[in-house]
Every structure is written in C-alpha cells, then in structure tokens.
C-alpha cells in the first residue's frame, strides 16, 4: 500500500498473531512518526465525516445506501451492485479539510484492491493511499496527509464474487474554519396565521407577521396549518390571508390544519382552491421537496392515522439521498399549550426517528416552544428529533398550561415567526417578534 502516491510501503493497522510481525509493525510506525513528527498527533484528530452527504457509484438496493457508511451505526452498511468493478463511495465533508486518517470497516464483501482519494472540487482526484492485497476486516490508515473537501474510496478489485460493502468509513482530520458553510439558506415558518381581520384593525396580528416574514427575505416560507380562520373558506382566504401572507404565496410550502377541514364546501376545499398545485405538488395534501442538503417533508396531520400517508412517508424516506431531514405538520406530538400532546403524531415520529430525521415543526397551540432532542417516547437523547411549536403567526395566543419534559423555552403572547438557518450539515433558528427582535435563539445543531 502506498500512501500519498509514494513508493514506500505502509500497511494498515490489522490484528496480527505473530509477535515478530507485531514488533516489526510497531518499529515501522515509530520510525514514521520520527520521520514525520507533525503527523504524530494525527490519530487524535476528530472524526469529521459522521452524517455528512454521501454518494456512491451504485447501491445493491435502497436499504444499502452510501449514507449507511457514515452514520456511526455498525449494524448498517453500504453495499454496491454485485459483480462489477470499479465501484466507489464518497463523502462531502462540507468544507475544505486536512485529512489525517481514514478507517474502513469492511463487511464480508471487501475490496482486494482500492485507492483512497481526495479532491477539492469532486472532479480532480489525488491519491492518498492505495491497497493492492486487501483481506477485509478493518483498515486503519492513520498517517495520511491530504487537503480537500471530498474524499472517496475507489475499489478496483473485489475480494469476493459479490460487490463492495462497508459498515463504516470514518474520516479524521480538521475542518477549515475559514471556509464558510456551504449550501446555506434561510427559511421563515409559522402556523395559525390569518384571523378574520385586516391591517385597519390595530390588534390584527397577521399583517404584522407577514411584514416581518417578507422583510427577512428567506429562500422560502413554510406554514404549519390553520392558515386561515375560522372555517378556511375560499372567500376568507381571499379576504384575509391573501392580503398579507399571500404576498409571497408562490414561495410558500403550506400544510393544512384542522381549521382547513371545517370548510362548509368540504374538507380542505378552500385550502386547495386557494393554494392549488402549491399545496398539492405531488397530487396529495402531503408532499416532499429538497433544498441544498436538506429533505423537507410536508404532512397532513388530519390524516396521519391513514395508512396511505404513512406508507407514502416510508417510501419517500427510502428514496431520500439528502443527509438532513426536516418534517412539518400541524398537530404536535409534544406541547405545553392548551391542546397539549397529540398522540396522532407518534407513529410518524417513529418513522422519522428511524430515518434519523433532525427537525420537526408544528403549530396548533398558539405559542412558541422549543424542545431538546428526544425520541418518540419523550426520552431526551442526542440522536433525537428537535421539535418546535411555532403557532404565533396571527391567531389569538394560548397560555402555557402544562410544561412538558424536555421543553427548553416557551413564549406566549408575543406574535412572531421562526427564522431558520440551514447549512449542508446543521441548523439553528431564532424566534423573531413582530418588533424585529429575536426573542429566543437556539443552540446550533448538527445533522444526524
């Protein structure tokens, strides 16, 4: 094996049973550290590839996608198509990085010959290391030196008649802090919006939240249901919502709330008539779309108990290739407001949690609230979903009644919108009041 394209021999760290071989390897490593003292601390560099966007030349099937090799779960794996050479798997580190170590954990379908390559642009590749007589197991390249944003493992000869399969591919090093986050964009979101009032009424809030939302000038807008009160008739949409939030309707991705089902003309009739294909881009009241490295899922929580929607959600997540996932709908699983917790959302939470989703946005209760990451059963956990209740878009505020576990911040009585900032690898947000001031600012979260 030849790291960095050199002709000198360097063997990955593997378990040996013969003491002489162990001694020889230790001697070799020691001599390398003496020759390259700046690399002596490389093994201590942080892991920088976990949860980053992954691509591959092929996948055996949807359950063996490339993201499995960078998820930190030793039970999942990437598997290429069988019987074909070459095959590769790569990761986008998000910014330029100094890579010092790559550790590969092979499944039974290993690579007999492969290269580790790095690139600044994903097009032109430089060899960091090369294996020509691999025997599977674990390969730990601990003394590498390369700079780039993209890294790939390029297999040229299979060790079996199958394909290539990795449980984990771990990249260590340091990210360039001077490089700005890539794929950054801003989203404005709110639920429970247009009461039956206009700007001529000084107490009418939705004209003020609309002005704020427009001033923030996001990439797009999300609504979390109850867009129009009280019965969401088309005449009311035109008389109220359209005069304020309708100014940026073409940049809005809405979902319905329970008030959209009260229309005397039929459930969701006014909603569908007003928004049209914007609310039904895939022919249903639920849909998904991508932006940057994010997959957004818009759900209709009036029918979360119907298998058609949950089956669609499972299929949608199985096809997703983005590293970060956000979902939004009306009824929250957890809320400290008057409506409280709504268990109708629990099955969907379980599906999203299983897919390592990051963020859920809801309305229904007319207050702002953020929760610590938690699992569907309400247990705080680092790999949990972060939930935000953002029902302060214009409807009359509700008081906080029963504070839920893991609730970190609650605001009632101050109208405003969520200003969400997304990057290729994380997110954060502020709750901004109609006076333009941030009333709460979240921690910065990394995507799972």
Handedness of CA 259, 310, 357, 249 (dihedral sign): negative
Shared-domain flag, residues 244 and 369: yes
Give the per-residue SS3 of the chain: CCHHHCCCCCCCCCCCCCHHHHHHHHHHHHHHHHHCHHHCCHHHCCECCCCCCEEECCCCCHHHCHHHHHCCCCCCCEECCCCCCCEEEEEEEEEEEEEEEEEEEECCCCEEEEEEEEECCCCCCEEEEEECCCCCCEEEECCCCEEEEEEEEEEEEECCCCCCEEEEEEEEEEECCCCCCCCCEEEEEECCCECCCCCCCCCCCHHHHHHHHHHHCCCEEEECCCCECCCCCHHHHHHCHHHCHHHHHHHEECCCCHHHHCCCCCCCHHHHHHHHHHCCCCCCCCEEEEECCEEEEECCHHHCCCHHHHHHHHHHHHHCCCCEEEEECCCCCCCCCCCCCCHHHHHHHHHHHHCCCCEEEECCCCCEEEECCECCCCCECCCCEEEEEECCCCCCCCCCCCCCCCEEEEECCCCEEEEEEECCCEEEEEEEECCCCEEEECCCEECC
- Amino acid 33: pLDDT: 42
In tens, the pLDDT along 260-296 reads 999 999 999 999 999 999 999 999 999 999 999 999 9
Per DSSP bridges, beta strands 185-190 and 220-223 are parallel
For the record, the structure tokens of 114 come out as: 């492969």
| 32: in domain | no
Shared-domain flag, residues 328 and 213: yes
What is the distance between the alpha carbons of residues 28 and 21, in angstroms, rounded to a whole number? 11
Q: Where a domain ends, among 137, 157, 175?
A: 175
Residue ranges, the chain, pLDDT below 50: 1-43
- Amino acid 42: pLDDT: 44
Shared-domain flag, residues 246 and 368: yes
Domain count, the chain: 2
Shared-domain flag, residues 320 and 428: yes
Shared-domain flag, residues 248 and 339: yes
Per DSSP bridges, beta strands 438-441 and 445-446 are unpaired
| 62: in domain | yes
| 33: in domain | no
- Amino acid 63: pLDDT: 86
What is the distance between the alpha carbons of residues 445 and 408, in angstroms, rounded to a whole number? 15
- For residue 265, what is the domain's CATH number? 3.60.21.10
Q: Where a domain ends, among 122, 141, 175?
A: 175
What is the distance between the alpha carbons of residues 212 and 417, in angstroms, rounded to a whole number? 8
| 358: in domain | yes
Shared-domain flag, residues 147 and 254: no
CB 322 within 8 A of CB 329: no
Shared-domain flag, residues 169 and 300: no
Shared-domain flag, residues 229 and 324: yes
Whether residue 153 has a cis bond before it, omega within 30° of 0: no
- For residue 121, what is the domain's CATH number? 2.60.120.260
Shared-domain flag, residues 141 and 215: no
What is the distance between the alpha carbons of residues 51 and 434, in angstroms, rounded to a whole number? 36
What is the distance between the alpha carbons of residues 176 and 346, in angstroms, rounded to a whole number? 40
For the CA atoms of 105, 72, 67, 290, what is the dihedral angle to 10 degrees?
A: -170
In the chain, the largest separation of any two C-alpha atoms, in whole Å, equals: 88
Shared-domain flag, residues 96 and 154: yes
For the record, the structure tokens of 213 come out as: 């939302």
**45: number of Cβ within 10 Å:** 18
Residue found by looking up tokens 């609650």 in the block: 410
| 166: in domain | yes
Shared-domain flag, residues 271 and 293: yes
For the record, the structure tokens of 73 come out as: 């779960």
What is the distance between the alpha carbons of residues 349 and 375, in angstroms, rounded to a whole number? 8
| 180: in domain | no
For the record, the structure tokens of 226 come out as: 């109850």
What is the distance between the alpha carbons of residues 281 and 283, in angstroms, rounded to a whole number? 6
What domain range includes position 343? 185-446
For the record, the structure tokens of 367 come out as: 């207050």
Shared-domain flag, residues 326 and 215: yes
- Amino acid 408: pLDDT: 97
For the chain, the first-to-last Cα distance in angstroms comes to 33
| 31: in domain | no
- Amino acid 178: pLDDT: 62
Q: Where a domain ends, among 130, 147, 175?
A: 175
């Amino acid at each position: 094996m030849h790291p960095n394209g050199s002709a000198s021999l360097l063997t990955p760290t593997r378990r040996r049973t013969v003491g002489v071989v162990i001694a020889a390897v230790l001697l070799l490593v020691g001599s390398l550290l003496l020759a390259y003292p700046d690399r002596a601390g490389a093994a201590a560099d942080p892991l920088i590839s976990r949860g980053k966007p992954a691509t591959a030349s092929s996948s055996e099937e949807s359950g063996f996608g490339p993201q499995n090799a960078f998820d930190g779960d030793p039970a999942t794996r990437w598997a290429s198509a069988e019987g074909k050479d070459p095959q590769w798997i790569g990761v986008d580190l998000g910014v330029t990085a100094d890579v010092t170590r790559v550790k590969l954990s092979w499944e039974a379908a290993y690579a007999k010959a492969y290269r580790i390559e790095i690139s600044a642009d994903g097009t032109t590749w430089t060899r960091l290391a090369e294996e020509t007589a691999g025997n599977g197991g674990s390969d730990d390249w601990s003394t590498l030196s390369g700079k780039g944003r993209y890294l790939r493992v390029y297999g040229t000869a299979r060790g079996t008649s199958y394909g290539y399969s990795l449980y984990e591919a771990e990249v260590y090093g340091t990210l360039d802090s001077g490089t700005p986050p890539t794929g950054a964009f801003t989203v404005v979101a709110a639920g429970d919006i247009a009461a039956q009032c206009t700007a001529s009424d000084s107490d009418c809030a939705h004209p003020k939240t609309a002005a704020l939302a427009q001033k923030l000038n996001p990439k797009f807008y999300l609504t979390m249901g109850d867009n129009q009160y009280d019965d969401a008739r088309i005449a009311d949409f035109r008389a109220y919502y359209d005069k304020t939030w309708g100014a940026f309707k073409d940049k809005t991705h809405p979902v319905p709330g329970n008030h959209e089902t009260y229309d005397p003309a039929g459930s969701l009739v006014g909603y569908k008539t007003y928004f049209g294909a914007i609310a039904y881009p895939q022919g249903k009241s639920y849909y998904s779309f991508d932006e940057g490295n994010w997959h957004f899922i818009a759900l209709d929580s009036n029918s979360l108990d119907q298998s058609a929607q949950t089956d669609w959600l499972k299929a949608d997540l199985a096809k997703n290739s983005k590293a970060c996932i956000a979902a939004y709908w009306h009824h929250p699983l957890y809320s400290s407001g008057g409506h409280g917790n709504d268990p109708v959302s629990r099955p969907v939470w379980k599906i999203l949690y299983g897919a390592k989703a990051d963020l859920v946005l809801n309305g229904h209760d007319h207050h702002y609230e953020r929760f610590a990451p938690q699992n569907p059963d309400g247990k705080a956990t680092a790999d949990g979903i972060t939930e935000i209740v953002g029902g302060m878009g214009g409807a009359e505020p509700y008081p906080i009644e029963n504070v839920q576990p893991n609730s970190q911040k609650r605001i009632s009585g101050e109208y405003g919108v969520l200003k969400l900032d997304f990057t290729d690898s994380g997110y954060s947000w502020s709750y901004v009041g109609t006076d333009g001031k941030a009333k709460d600012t979240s921690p910065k979260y990394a995507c799972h």
